[in-house]
Amino acid sequence: MENVFRFESSPARSFAAGTLHRASKRNFPVLQGMAIQALHLKTGAVREPHIHPNAHQLDYCVGGSATVGIIGPEGDRQLLELQTGDISFVPQGFVHWIENTGQGELHFLVVLSNPEPETIELSEMLAGVPRSTLAKALGVSEELLERMPKETVTIGGVM
């Protein structure tokens, strides 16, 4: 059994506005019952709103400052201001996002309560619903919706 994993030296998902490293039982088999992610966001960047249908999330702010937004049932909405050393908790299935509100890079460690957490991005949800249905449901024109992304964003906010 291998008990060490070179986490932030492992391949990352890279975006113009940041990077995301993931360790799960898939690439670090000793992780039982959990997974961990390292998130680096450039100034002004946002980790896209998303949900984890099969995992709770614990965030630890390693460096920088951020707003963690959480939307739950019945209009429950929280905007949590985190600084270096703070933690936050996101219940399973709640919509949430992380925004770098500081002047430098944001570094978060994200611990998920499932060894293979599932993620559904907001951009995936919106791209999966026909534009005509979204227009009717939201009371807006289909032309307005044409400007929405047609593919997964994951990390955005910096052009």
pLDDT digits (tens, 9 = 90+) for 24-64: 988 999 989 999 999 999 999 999 999 999 999 999 999 99
- 155: how many CB neighbours lie within 10 A of its CB? 22
Domain membership of residue 75 (yes or no) is yes
pLDDT reported for residue 1 = 66
Confirm whether 61 is domain-assigned. yes
The dihedrals phi and psi of 12, each to the nearest 5 degrees, come to -115, 155
In terms of residue numbers, what domain contains 45?
11-119
Average pLDDT, the chain: 92
Q: What is the pLDDT of residue 104?
A: 96
| CATH code: domain of residue 71 | 2.60.120.10
How many Cβ atoms from other residues are within 10 Å of residue 157's Cβ?
19
How many distinct structural domains can be found in the chain?
1
Confirm whether 139 is domain-assigned: no
Is pLDDT at 158 greater than 80 in this prediction? Answer: no
